[in-house]
Amino acid sequence: MKKRVLFTIAMVSLLLVTCTRRKSKLTFMVGGAPNEVEFWEKLTETFEKKTGIPITLIRQPTDTDQRRQGLVIPLKSKQKDPDLFLMDVVWIGQFAASKWLQPLDGYIRREGFPLEPFFGRVLESADRYNGELIALPVYVDGGLLYYRRDLLQRFGYRSPPQSWAELVRCAVKAQTTLRRENPNFWGFGWQGAQYEGLVCNFLEFVSSNGGRLTTKEGKPSLNLPENIEALGFMVDLIHRYKISPPNTYTEMKEEEVRNLFQSGNCLFERNWPYAWSLHQAKGSAVRGRVGIAPLPGFGGKPGASALGGWHIGISRYSDAPAQAWEFVKFVTSYKVQKELVMGLGWNPARVDIYDDREVGEKFPHLPALKGVFQTAVSRPNLPYYPQVSEVIQRWANRALAGKIGAKEALDKAQKEAEEVMRAYK
Ligand code: GLC
């Protein structure tokens, strides 16, 4: 009898321990273009089959600001779900400073997990906070110029433009002629809506004119003459040269720009690498007619690409961190990183994939892009970056709408950014 009681107690305790150690399902929050989320769904299924660890995917929108807000709510209220999520490189600082991320060093040391395959610059600048590793990069992004190869040829251009002035000349010429056949044709699509993508575009124009968003000491330098000139040029693209549509400042985010170009209604497009595979997919009106190049610069200055990208982290409030770590390892493994490139055309965070033969055959432009990422310009890495970004978004967008001059907009933005810094520092 005594034996039986002891046995029952032992079984109940074992059950309790198992239950508290392993909750029923991991939850992973991820967004993106519809094809990207579908891809993640397949990956989570594979992970579940392979490891026996159940995982549910929670779909998020495409827009990075909305994705951040969707995560801030559960994290602020210390909810156990989601266990894992993808983070835009620009919000990691805020998440780390808020102590919402589990440090990964313990797992890495214990398992001898190698960090060498990842882009060192990306890892060190984004994933380490106060010396602790709090995330791992999944893919890197850099702004690129997509162009219609067939149309450049038709109008007598041998190569894509290297300067913004050349791009305008070429776009005006093509648009004027093509409008006779197609009234919906535009010269150049880019992201000008009031959201984070506008800051990336602004940073690229500014940097390709020798400007910058902050001083070397990290103070805002938004109203530099180079920046004012660059914003003035962005305004001109819409209102003076009229090669970018008026809805650039009301609607144009990544997907809107991609759709404009992919429907065959645009000569040049500024977008991230993900657009390539979709342009080349079956059913795309521009399939086989697209070229990819670095973004142009002003005068003889080199073009600049904004450094973007998404990183995976484990919530500090997760009640299954060890299982979540298994998923982090899975996503950053060579095999899955290669699948992400082959399936989505993303640029992997692992340098070793760039030398993969099969990847090189499918994406011949990839090795050249490695250089773009290594020199891409970062947005300021600040815990209160979202607040600074909001100021830039609002004033740059007002200038694009033609409501205020570029100088006045950036003077106002500078003042507000200084106030944000004072308030948060
Ligand atoms: C891409 C980039 C990200 C950036 C966002 C802006 O997703 O990877 O870093 O913030 O676009 O829309």
Task: Specify the residue with its C-alpha closest to ligand 1, atom 2.
Answer: 308
How far is the centre of ligand 1, averaged over its atoms, from the C-alpha of 143 (Å)? Answer: 9
Pairing verdict, β 307-314 and 84-88: antiparallel
Classify the C-alpha dihedral 44-45-46-50 as positive or negative: positive
- Residues with CB under 6 Å of ligand 1 are 64, 88-90, 141, 196-197, 200, 254, 272, 308-310
Span 48-86, pLDDT tens digits: 999 999 999 999 999 999 999 999 999 999 999 999 999
What is the number of H-type helices and E-type strands within the chain? 18, 12
- Please check whether residues 349 and 397 belong to one and the same domain: no
Question: Tell me, what's the pLDDT at 18?
Answer: 44
User: 250: pLDDT confidence band, cut at 50, 70 and 90?
Assistant: very high
Would you say residue 337 has pLDDT above 60?
A: yes
- Kindly give the number of the ligand 1 atom that is closest to the alpha carbon of 139: 8
Mean pLDDT value across the chain: 93
How far is the centre of ligand 1, averaged over its atoms, from the C-alpha of 173 (Å)? Answer: 31
Confirm whether 20 is domain-assigned.
Answer: no
Question: Tell me, what's the pLDDT at 188?
Answer: 99
**Short-list 80, 74, 77, 64, CA closest to 23:** 80
How far is the centre of ligand 1, averaged over its atoms, from the C-alpha of 161 (Å)? Answer: 24
Confirm whether 126 is domain-assigned.
Answer: yes
Question: How far apart, in Å, are the Cα atoms of 199 and each of 143, 181, 210, 357?
Answer: 12, 34, 16, 35
- Please check whether residues 151 and 286 belong to one and the same domain: yes
* Gap between the Cα atoms of 41 and 245, Å rounded: 35
* Gap between the Cα atoms of 407 and 395, Å rounded: 10
Phi-psi region of 346 (alpha: psi -120 to 50; beta: other; left: phi over 0): beta
Confirm whether 91 is domain-assigned.
Answer: yes
Question: Tell me, what's the pLDDT at 4?
Answer: 59
Confirm whether 323 is domain-assigned.
Answer: yes
Domain that holds residue 197: 144-305+382-424
Residues of the chain above pLDDT 70, percent:
95
Mean pLDDT of 2-11: 52
Question: Tell me, what's the pLDDT at 3?
Answer: 55
- Lowest average pLDDT, out of 225-229, 260-264, 379-383, 393-397, goes to 379-383
* Gap between the Cα atoms of 307 and 14, Å rounded: 49
- Please check whether residues 370 and 413 belong to one and the same domain: no
- Please check whether residues 283 and 159 belong to one and the same domain: yes
* Gap between the Cα atoms of 261 and 198, Å rounded: 18
- Please check whether residues 335 and 413 belong to one and the same domain: no
* Residue matched to tokens 């050349």: 166
Question: Tell me, what's the pLDDT at 340?
Answer: 93
Pairing verdict, β 266-271 and 186-189: parallel
- Please check whether residues 361 and 403 belong to one and the same domain: no
* Gap between the Cα atoms of 285 and 279, Å rounded: 8
Mean pLDDT of 390-404: 98
User: Angle at CA 53, nearest 5°, toward 71 and 20?
Assistant: 80
- Please check whether residues 45 and 158 belong to one and the same domain: no
- Kindly give the number of the ligand 1 atom that is closest to the alpha carbon of 63: 12
Span 90-121, pLDDT tens digits: 999 999 999 999 999 999 999 999 999 999 88
How far is the centre of ligand 1, averaged over its atoms, from the C-alpha of 314 (Å)? Answer: 20
Question: Tell me, what's the pLDDT at 373?
Answer: 76
How far is the centre of ligand 1, averaged over its atoms, from the C-alpha of 204 (Å)? Answer: 13
- Please check whether residues 262 and 125 belong to one and the same domain: no
Confirm whether 332 is domain-assigned.
Answer: yes
- Please check whether residues 193 and 179 belong to one and the same domain: yes
- Please check whether residues 232 and 246 belong to one and the same domain: yes
Q: How many domains does the chain contain in total? A: 2
Amino acid at 200: C
Question: Tell me, what's the pLDDT at 367?
Answer: 76
Question: Tell me, what's the pLDDT at 364?
Answer: 85
- Please check whether residues 387 and 242 belong to one and the same domain: yes
Task: Specify the residue with its C-alpha closest to ligand 1, atom 5.
Answer: 197
Would you say residue 17 has pLDDT above 70?
A: no
C-beta of residue 289 within 8 angstroms of C-beta of residue 272: no
Identify the three-state secondary structure at position 75: helix
- Can you give the CATH number for the domain in which 42 is found? 3.40.190.10
Question: Tell me, what's the pLDDT at 15?
Answer: 45
Task: Specify the residue with its C-alpha closest to ligand 1, atom 4.
Answer: 308
- pTM: predicted TM-score of the whole model, two decimal places: 0.92
Residues of the chain above pLDDT 90, percent:
86
* Gap between the Cα atoms of 424 and 195, Å rounded: 21
